[in-house]
Chain A
Amino acid sequence: MNSLVIAKNLVKKFKDVTAVNDISFEIKEGECFGFLGPNGAGKTSTIRMIHCVSPVTSGMLTVTGMPANINSRAIKSITGVIPQEINLDVDLTVDENLAIHARFFDIPRAQARKRINDYLKFVELDQKRNSKIDELSTGMKKRLLIARALINAPKLIIADEPTTGLDPQARHLVWQRLRELKREGATLILTTQYMEEAEQLCDRIVIMHKGRILKEGVPKSLIEDEIGSEVVEIRVPKEEDEKILSRLSIAGAAHERVGDTLYFYCRDGKDLMRKVVEMNLHNVLNRPATLEDVFLKLTGRSLIE
């Protein structure tokens, strides 16, 4: 598969703050690529450079082989952006928002009409066609942003935290729509703070922290490699660590103390759980490992082996 986006030693500086610090990655055509990281990790700065609204400070960045810079109308015309902040045109109706957006992309009127009808149905807003933007709920606004991002039939769709602030129903609807778009062949770039979102949608992810890429890979194997398959959480006071560790330390199970909780990372929690039961510990949870564990391990505290 061809690479749609290629970044080499990409740097973004704002005055004396380095938001993106020498990162390299390739995004393949047709995949869903996720940027994960806490606030201020450099995710949004990175994708703003990709869709040509923020200049590259140094390094190389290309989209479909064209260099990305703020004068690149060619890249912008093949890209659909679902922004983090809702920036719908509040002076216009739902329909007008899409119609004028289609004009911005020089889409012929008849074709624009058809797409507006199709995409309003796609995001389940065809009943709201003549509503004002203030009359929509946050979830509806986010869905309208998706419809707007699709109006130019983009080759590349960029979604910047598309579900932040949404209720579970709205979030699942947005996920379904994004998966459908991917099935239809679009390349998707996603930023998110939600690990569940990344596991649901992304083929490959990078975990960013303080402007750098800490890890890159497929969500499942990242979890396997970094954590194992299961986690056992024991909520006990720190003073009891020594006693517990002397009984529970098994080869292959790394442990970590975070706040009031002792975490054990392992392939299989059964042996560990058996001992926990023998010790008569109560506040215990055995669960599958998630990206969140990977994330906390990488961006948080160091592991004690």
Chain B
Amino acid sequence: MNLSYRIYYVFLRNLISYKRFIFTTFLVSLGQPFFYLITFGIGMGAYMGQFGGRPYLYFLVPGVLISSVMMSSASECMYGTFVKMIHEKLYDSLIATPISCEDAVAGDIAWGMFRGLVSGVLMLVVALLMGILPVSAVNFILLLLLMMFVGVLFSSLSMIVTSFAPNFDFFSYYSELILTPMLFFSGVFFPLDKFPAWMKAFAQFMPLTHAVNISRSIFSGQASQGLAFNFLVLIIMEAVAFNFGIKLMKRRLIK
């Protein structure tokens, strides 16, 4: 793995181009999760009553926040990366400089992570306005770190998808068949307790399940059951996804 500090240059290039459409992306990254908060949080929350001793929104926010990180990071490293690779030939010009192919892909993963973080922070501001926030300043920092970690994970997973994508349509399979269902299987909107055993087991294979669990613990300040296991699974998934994301992209880019 031929990685170097030049990852930062690739990130910087994205940042310079980002300043031109920063506000439109703010709207886009806020949109979907914001609807979830309003419709599920306020609409459905009214029927849910108290939820584990607190209003439903306290349950919902930590999950929606992590899913907004997931969605932003994932789409940046699908659509964003695909456009740069196929339409703009940006990767060709990057790897003709001392930037290695691995640097270029890792730089885009770092960028996807950043886009996820921006979405997450925007949601956090909304949550704050609703009066829902992590229990302490330390947990606030932990939450930011978690968002970054989740951002790298879903950016890397998208790189794997992008490395096989013949065209844009390909991405809708991944979004519609994997990412969106994951929202409903990972305990974002409701707890998994009432699922039959096989569905619970199935949910353990979804990275979002573990990330949402950790996020809830950070918000509440109370370590949930299996927290260590959640961390372990996420770290393993991230290491594997990052490695494969870069290797498979390299296979596509270097001919």
Contact surface of A with B, Cβ cutoff 8 Å:
14, 51, 53-55, 70-71, 73, 76-77, 79, 81, 83, 85-92, 96, 100-101, 103-106, 152
Give the residue of A54, A70, A88, A104 whose beta carbon is less than 8 angstroms from that of B98: A104
Distance of A50 from chain B, by nearest CB (Å): 11
Distance of A37 from chain B, by nearest CB (Å): 19
Q: Does B93 contact A (CB under 8 A)?
A: yes
Contact B94 A104 (CB under 8 A): yes
Residues in B with CB closer than 8 Å to A101 are 93, 97
Residues in A with CB closer than 8 Å to B236 are none
Residues in B with CB closer than 8 Å to A71 are 2, 100
Contact A73 B100 (CB under 8 A): yes
Contact B96 A77 (CB under 8 A): no
> What is the count of residue pairs linking A and B with beta-carbon distances less than 8 angstroms?
68
Q: List 15 A-B contacts (CB under 8 A).
A: A14-B255, A53-B96, A55-B254, A71-B100, A73-B4, A76-B98, A89-B13, A89-B88, A91-B16, A91-B20, A100-B9, A101-B97, A104-B6, A104-B97, A106-B98
Distance of A133 Cα from B6 Cα, bound (Å) = 24
Contact B93 A83 (CB under 8 A): yes
With contacts A55-B254, A100-B9, A103-B12 known, is A91 near B97, CB below 8 A? no
Size bracket, chain B contacts: 20 to 34
Contact B97 A92 (CB under 8 A): no
Distance of A54 Cα from B20 Cα, bound (Å) = 33
With contacts A70-B254, A71-B2, A92-B16 known, is A87 near B98, CB below 8 A? no
Contact A100 B12 (CB under 8 A): yes
Distance of A193 Cα from B99 Cα, bound (Å) = 30
Residues in B with CB closer than 8 Å to A90 are 88
Proximity bits, B171-194, A CB within 8 Å = 1, else 0: 000000000000000000000000
Residues in B with CB closer than 8 Å to A86 are 89
Distance of A19 from chain B, by nearest CB (Å): 10
Distance of A77 Cα from B100 Cα, bound (Å) = 11
Residues in A with CB closer than 8 Å to B16 are 91-92, 96, 100
Residues in A with CB closer than 8 Å to B89 are 85-87
Contact A87 B255 (CB under 8 A): no
Contact surface of B with A, Cβ cutoff 8 Å:
2, 4, 6, 9, 12-13, 16-17, 20, 88-90, 92-101, 254-255
Give the residue of A76, A85, A103 whose beta carbon is less than 8 angstroms from that of B92: A85
Chain B contact surface mostly: loop
Give the residue of A53, A92, A104, A106 whose beta carbon is less than 8 angstroms from that of B17: A92
Residue of B nearest to A132 (CB): B20
Distance of A93 Cα from B37 Cα, bound (Å) = 39
Most B Cβ at <10 Å: residue of A85, A91, A92, A106: A91
Distance of A32 Cα from B128 Cα, bound (Å) = 65
Distance of B94 from chain A, by nearest CB (Å): 7
Residue of B nearest to A145 (CB): B93
Contact B6 A53 (CB under 8 A): no
Distance of B114 from chain A, by nearest CB (Å): 16
Give the residue of A51, A76, A81, A103 whose beta carbon is less than 8 angstroms from that of B9: A103
Distance of A27 Cα from B64 Cα, bound (Å) = 60
Residue of B nearest to A70 (CB): B254
Give the residue of B17, B90, B100, B101 whose beta carbon is less than 8 angstroms from that of A87: B90
Distance of B118 from chain A, by nearest CB (Å): 17
Knowing that A54-B254, A83-B93, A104-B98 are A-B contacts, what are 5 other residue pairs whose CB atoms are under 8 Å apart, sorted by A's residue number? A71-B2, A79-B96, A87-B89, A87-B92, A106-B98
Give the residue of A70, A87, A103 whose beta carbon is less than 8 angstroms from that of B93: A87
Contact B97 A51 (CB under 8 A): no
Distance of A217 Cα from B210 Cα, bound (Å) = 66
Most A Cβ at <10 Å: residue of B12, B16, B17, B254: B16
Give the residue of B13, B90, B97 whose beta carbon is less than 8 angstroms from that of A105: B97
Distance of A70 Cα from B99 Cα, bound (Å) = 11
Residues in B with CB closer than 8 Å to A87 are 88-90, 92-93
Residue of A nearest to B17 (CB): A91
Residues in A with CB closer than 8 Å to B4 are 73
Residues in B with CB closer than 8 Å to A104 are 6, 9, 94, 97-99
Distance of A152 Cα from B96 Cα, bound (Å) = 12
Residues in B with CB closer than 8 Å to A14 are 255
With contacts A103-B12, A104-B94, A104-B98 known, is A54 near B255, CB below 8 A? yes
Distance of B25 from chain A, by nearest CB (Å): 13
Residues in A with CB closer than 8 Å to B95 are 53
Distance of A92 Cα from B93 Cα, bound (Å) = 14
Distance of A165 Cα from B97 Cα, bound (Å) = 25
Contact A89 B90 (CB under 8 A): yes
Distance of A74 Cα from B125 Cα, bound (Å) = 46
Residues in B with CB closer than 8 Å to A79 are 96
